């Protein structure tokens, strides 16, 4: 498949030295006194349905400390999971009525952190992962309003590192809290300090912990595009790039040719629209290369995180853009392996498995489909539109309606794929270059905007329902399901 000449004409292949940016407002670091961690107590908005099964003997499990999971690529190493469930889906362990927002929980040991908006407050809540019991909460005022009327809550997910948790709100407010107590270490108003105007849908990139750094696609006008902060003090360590604004994608780390790198797919609101991929040396902020890649549409963003595999990186965007695979060369430069219009992800991130990329291509519900693309060549192996008939009861009358996964999300786990459809369907899928096979399906709830990747930790599956269930009238919820096999 021939590379897109328009993209190649725009490509920048250069080695850029680290730039110097001033920290506009180093934060005050609070002296956090040592206090006993609070004991978890029943949460008034949590309904407990029962205990999960014990973990099966020999089950492999992990924490889920950040968006996209422990390896930053929506691939889980957990094993001995429930492959067959009743018609209603896996057993519901507990549910919490939640506010607005599109974030996923972060989990470390016996602590689950969830970030949402309740009224005029952005609220951080710390719960026990198995029971939903509450340890602590931390909140602060917000006035954010989505310009398109979608949702006024936080978009970025919490990040846990050791005894600290970091949250980045929809208005660009960054807080560092003690994981076990909720005490404040430091805070920054990134949008105000770096003079970043509100993007189409607010601030949505989840920060990345890399060593002692907290790395964010700040997108400040005139730079820095990316900034690294000392995770203990909150002070800026370096800035990188001047041209591109903040995207909705999250930075991804990788080791390339034995060297540690961070890949940032930048580009939010700008006119004319600009953005693309940055390869950054986290040691000093030096940019190996910048690869422009962005829709020509003004009302568009880069929202899917980069996928790094075997010294190659895949990026993708919707709005008639497609995907590109870059070869990462030993000297820090790059070459274009291929570009394709067959795989253009909107906000979900593609998943690589055994040399093939799997992703939902499409901008809107009606035009979304699931594709398999050979990573080596960019060849489209197949395209399917997962659909099925559902029986709905509306005003006492029964009727059939054709529904599907639409712009779903994928999580590779235990040789299969978990798929969460954007209307609340959960599926086990067998995906290979030979085709698509549905193994199991359940409709958990009938709610739109189910756009957050499910979180899997210790055999429990956490799903965020972001809008009201139109059939059962249940409010937005955080749901915990038992996905542990019986033995």
* Tens of pLDDT, residues 166-176: 999 999 999 99
Average pLDDT over residues 156-179: 98
Across the chain, mean pLDDT equals 95
Average pLDDT score over residue span 228-250? 97
Whole-angstrom distance, CA of residue 229 vs CA of residue 403: 45
Average pLDDT over residues 141-164: 96
Mean pLDDT for 170-190 is: 98
User: What distance in Å separates the CA atoms of residue 170 and residue 361, rounded to the nearest whole number?
Assistant: 26
Q: Which of 251, 237, 240, 244 is nearest to 269 (CA)?
A: 244
Q: Is the pLDDT of residue 92 over 90?
A: yes
Q: Per-residue confidence at 2, pLDDT binned at 50, 70, 90?
A: very low
Q: What is the reported pLDDT for 1?
A: 41
- At 396 the pLDDT is 80
pLDDT in tens, 288-313: 999 999 999 999 999 999 999 999 99
Give pLDDT tens digits for 351-384.
999 999 999 999 988 899 999 999 999 999 999 9
Residue 18: what pLDDT?
66
Residue with tokens 């896996």: 90
Those residues with Cβ within 8 angstroms of residue 387's Cβ, 6 or more apart along the chain or in another chain: 402, 403, 404
pLDDT at 16: 53
| Least confident span in 1-10, 242-251, 440-449 | 1-10
Q: What does the pLDDT average to over 435-461?
A: 98
**Residue closest to 252 by CA, chosen among 210, 283, 199:** 210
What homologous superfamily does CATH list for 5-22+69-482? YVTN repeat-like/Quinoprotein amine dehydrogenase (2.130.10.10)
Q: Which strand ranges, in their side-by-side order, compose the sheet holding 322-328?
A: 307-309, 312-317, 322-328, 334-340
Q: What is the mean pLDDT of residues 445-467?
A: 97
Flag whether pLDDT at 10 surpasses 50.
no
Task: For residue 6, name the pLDDT band (cuts at 50, 70, 90).
Answer: very low
Instruction: Reply yes or no on whether the pLDDT at 438 is more than 50.
Output: yes
- So what's the pLDDT on residue 224? 98
Q: Give the mean model confidence (pLDDT) for residues 477-482.
A: 98
Percent of the chain scoring above 90 in pLDDT: 92
- Asked if pLDDT for residue 465 goes beyond 90, the answer is yes
User: What pLDDT does 111 receive?
Assistant: 98
For residue 19, what pLDDT is reported? Answer: 79
Q: How confident is the model over 461-483, as a mean pLDDT? A: 97
Indicate the burial class of 229 (C-beta count within 10 angstroms; 0-12, 13-18, 19 or more): buried
Nearest to 223 by CA among 278, 305, 173, 183: 278
Residue-level pLDDT at 17: 56
**Which stretch of 120-129, 144-153, 392-401, 460-469 has the lowest confidence by average pLDDT?**
392-401
Nearest-Å Rg of the Cα atoms of the chain is 22
Q: CA dihedral defined by 416, 157, 159, 52, rounded to 10 degrees?
A: -50
């Amino acid at each position: 498949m021939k590379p897109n000449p328009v993209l190649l004409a725009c490509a920048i292949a250069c080695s850029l030295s680290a730039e110097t940016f001033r920290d506009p407002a180093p934060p005050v670091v609070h002296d956090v006194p040592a206090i006993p961690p609070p004991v978890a107590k029943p949460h008034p908005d949590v309904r407990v349905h029962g205990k999960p099964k014990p973990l099966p003997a020999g089950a492999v499990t992990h924490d889920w400390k950040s968006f996209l999971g422990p390896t930053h690529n929506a691939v889980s190493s957990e094993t001995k999971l429930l492959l067959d469930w009743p018609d209603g889906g896996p057993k519901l362990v507990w549910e919490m009525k939640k506010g607005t927002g599109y974030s996923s929980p972060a989990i470390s040991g016996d602590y689950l952190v969830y970030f949402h908006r309740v009224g005029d407050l952005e609220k951080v809540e710390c719960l026990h992962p198995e029971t939903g019991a509450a340890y602590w909460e931390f909140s602060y005022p917000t006035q954010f309003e989505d310009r398109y009327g979608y949702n006024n809550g936080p978009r970025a997910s919490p990040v846990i590192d050791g005894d600290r948790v970091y949250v980045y709100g929809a208005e660009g407010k960054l807080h560092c809290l003690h994981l076990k107590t909720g005490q404040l270490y430091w805070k920054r108003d990134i949008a105000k300090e770096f003079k970043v105007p509100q993007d189409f849908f607010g601030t949505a990139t989840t920060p990345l912990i890399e060593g002692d750094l907290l790395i964010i696609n700040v997108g400040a006008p005139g730079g820095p595009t990316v900034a690294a902060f000392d995770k203990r003090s909150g002070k800026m360590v370096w800035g990188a790039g001047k041209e591109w604004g903040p995207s909705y994608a999250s930075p991804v780390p990788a080791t390339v040719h034995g060297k540690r790198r961070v890949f940032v797919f930048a580009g939010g609101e700008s006119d004319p629209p600009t953005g693309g991929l940055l390869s950054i040396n986290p040691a000093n902020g030096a940019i190996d290369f910048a690869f422009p890649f962005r829709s020509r549409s003004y009302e568009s963003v880069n929202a899917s995180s980069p996928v790094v595999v075997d010294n190659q990186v895949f990026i993708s965007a919707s709005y008639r853009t497609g995907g590109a695979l870059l070869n990462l060369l030993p000297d820090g430069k790059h070459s274009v392996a291929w570009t394709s219009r067959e795989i253009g992800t909107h906000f979900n991130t593609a998943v690589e498995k055994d040399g093939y990329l799997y992703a939902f291509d499409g901008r809107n519900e009606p035009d979304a489909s699931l594709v398999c693309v050979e990573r080596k060549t960019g060849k489209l192996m197949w395209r399917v539109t997962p659909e099925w008939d559902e029986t709905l009861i509306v005003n006492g009358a029964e009727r059939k309606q054709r529904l599907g996964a639409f712009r779903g999300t994928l999580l590779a786990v235990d040789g299969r794929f978990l798929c969460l459809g954007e209307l609340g369907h959960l599926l086990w899928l067998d995906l290979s270059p030979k085709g698509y096979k549905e193994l199991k399906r359940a409709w958990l709830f009938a709610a739109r905007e189910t756009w957050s990747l499910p979180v899997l930790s210790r055999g429990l599956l956490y799903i965020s329902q972001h809008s009201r269930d139109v059939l059962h009238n249940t409010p937005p919820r955080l749901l915990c399901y038992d996905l542990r096999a019986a033995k």
